[in-house]
Structure 1
Amino acid sequence: MGVAAVGSGGVVTKASIHGPHVSLSAPGQAVASSWPLGGDCVVGADEPATSWATAYVSAAAALVASAHPTETPAQWAYRLEATAVRAQPDTRSNISGWGVVQPYDAIVMVPGTGLRGPKSPFVAASPSASPTATPEAVSVVIGPGPDAAAITTATGIGRGRTRRTRRDRCSRDLRQSPSRGGGSPPRRPHGPRALRARRAGIAQRRQEPTGREPHRHDP
């Protein structure tokens, strides 16, 4: 929707681009608005601007859509255009469109055939032609789906990999086991008890006779 800006005197500003694209007009000067830093303020105090007028119509359209959520965008636009204030109810202008927007009137408007202004989208359209062919009934099949074979194959591959991984791991552990003759030799036990046992064994071997006489040096 094209929007033209209206000054504080109710006249459309010359700065607006006029033409067949203009649908509505809205206040573009001395517009009360909120401010990002908080609080309220008046924007466009110097001269009218379509920036403020467009925001005004956008807010009005949002209120209409919120009040009538089941309607279409064309019906929301009709509410805004049909209830706008204009000099000629049946005529649209390239300068001000269908007139100055009235948000409250657009919300409470009751659509009907007696309203003057733009063409109403609320008028019931001609009923659509009935289908010539009867649609096929929907059938529900309980059983394996079309991808059952692929799922079975993928599951078998996964199980085979699991068994092979376990078998390879067991074979690797057996190859590294000292009892099988592979891998590094077993480590000697350590600790105070093992140390005392080794010392006792050494002392016992020293006390055992060797069967040889000791070597003597004559003076």
Structure 2
Amino acid sequence: MTDYVIAPPAAADVAVEGTDARFPIRRVFCVGRNYAAHAREMGKDPDREPPFFFTKPADAVCDAGGTIPYPPLTQDLHHEVELVVAIGRGGRDIAPEDAQMHIWGYGIGIDLTRRDLQQQAKDLGRPWDWGKAFDRSAPCSPLVPASRIGHPTRGRISLSVNGELRQQGDLADQIWPVDDIVAICSASVELMPGDLIFTGTPAGVAALKPGDRLEGEIEGLAQLRLTIGAPLDRS
């Protein structure tokens, strides 16, 4: 038995639909601006920019379905609903036509973003971590095995806040489809079992406030519900 100098942290994981089993999380990769309309609303040209990735810590992922506190240091928390890909078989330099063999399953997640901190980082030429990689910044639905649903390439993806539709698109609208995303990511790092990939968000991102109720859905795949709570008492 390894003798640790402090107690090791609990392993990060996420629920699996229809079972008490959990999917262990190793790393979280996120694709930036993978829907043309969202790229345009962020002031970018989707036809001229190759895919890029940023990361979140594994323990930023939390089960959707409950209440998460409004995070500190921000006055501009935004929602970004996304298809989540769970890697079950590792590999490097994976060919797009082989990508599906490496995918264990899928879910729907929200890339919560402290937009004001992200913009400050952009303006200063600094990393986005404080805007993207904070506690509970990646709520995720239970994952659904690909063996049950196959590998979705199209289907409505949407997010409503307090019953009002905010984001809507189709998985077919992705600039870089899932097979390409897996291949491109694996050219830079060796993907490993337990890695999650958040694959980008459609247009309509907007601010959230305490008390907001979020409902996300990917047609025929998964649903997500959560509430934004009050900020944590930091006294």
TM-score normalised per structure 1:
0.19
Larger Rg over CA atoms = 1
Q: Which has the higher helix share?
A: 1
Q: TM-score, normalised by structure 2?
A: 0.19
Higher strand share: 2
Bigger relative contact order, structure 1 or 2 (CA pairs below 8 A, ≥6 apart): 2
